[in-house]
Structure 1
Amino acid sequence: MNKRAHLPSAVKVGRITRMPNQLRKQDTYHHGNLRDALIAAGIFLLDTQGADALSLRGAARLAGVSQTAPGHHFQDKRGMLAAIATKGFEQLTTKRLEMLTISMSAEERLRALMLGYVLFAIERPALFNLMFGSELADKDDYEELRMASIASFRLLMHAIADHLQAHKLPASYAEAAAVHVWSATHGLSTLLVHRQQNPRQKLQATEQCRALANVLIAGLTADIKGSTS
């Protein structure tokens, strides 16, 4: 495994179907964990009921605290949304890292990171939409959110740099190439999220991501070779 990709212990981040444990333990609120519990409640509402169900009051109700409690941790609803989106980017990064194995080649790692992005989107559509939605388009307003989104992008950029180096191409093209690869992967993810779900959605997403990766990786190598020749 490349030193840039640090594999954390396995954390399953699939669609939530039951109440998170941290929302059921009232004693956690007395140990400074109320903010985390409210974020977990917000993510639970997003995953199970959609964006329309998400509110400061709803998160407080689910966490079992007073309706005024969120005001001690978030300036307003947008502040809570930013905290939830931050957690979303952290979970996206974890999801993508879990797709990697030590034995993968540089190209296989790049393909796995693309697929992890697509699968996260279709497994967590409401959270994905919040992370990239217009309400939080200006991430500079929230430093933690900005840094979490950058970390996800850098994961892809480092994988592309490794792929370029494996083909004896300059890694200096990695950032620009990462923008193109991310844009295409995000576009596919967005299309899949807004398409009517069906039992074969995950399989179809995997197949379409593989086809997209074939085009992007071949084009990426050819374009850079042309630029350096």
Structure 2
Amino acid sequence: MTPESIKVACSNCNLRELCMPVGLSHDELVRLDSLVATRRKVRRKEMLFHNGETFTSLYAIRTGVFKTRVSSEDGRDQVTGFQMAGEIIGLDGIVNDRHTCDAVALEDSEVCVMPYERIEELSREVSALQRHVHQIMSREIVREHGVMLLLGSMRAEERLAAFLLNLVQRLHARGFSASELVLRMTREEIGSYLGLKLETVSRTLSKFVDDGIVEVNQRHVRILDSEALRRMVNPTVCT
């Protein structure tokens, strides 16, 4: 899809505090407005970029949700993350100038296209931007470590509890409810990300319902007992 040539002003964006450095002067904000080349719409199930594609830009998600995935040698897709409004996507391409995964829209979405050459250029002039890019990269490393812990040592209940808590926390930071969410991803995609079979995800979610921890109506989830979920992820150690 051809990107729409709509100029976007970061200084006026309601997601600015989520994806841009804080504490910038007015002049620095105006300079950062030149970072965004275009705004691009991505329809549900369309790819923003694909594995092997030449890396040119980072993308700030304005609306919608994406999943990133890689294909295993036997042809199966492995979901590696879910990204939402206010988050930056495309960092995987920095290392070798090529993307190493696919980014697929889970609903009709819109991104701000930020050419990486321009980010590097501005980073030399605005130190807060350079710090911010480093923070985003560091956050991605921490997230990767969290996923490794999730897949390496947690039981199914703990994995799903951690996933729901993380999702609702990120949504709450964007002004949404602290206890209700709509799952934009399928149970199968959740299973792929958490290293669980579809049946295990469904069975574990049903157990949460039976235990009075959540209410589920198709893709709508309401968390009734967030403390119970937290205790699963961080059990009290008996001494």
| TM-score normalised to structure 2 length | 0.27
More helix by share: 1
| TM-score normalised to structure 1 length | 0.28
Instruction: Considering Cα pairs closer than 8 Å and 6+ residues apart, tell me whether 1 or 2 has the greater RCO.
Output: 1
More strand by share: 2
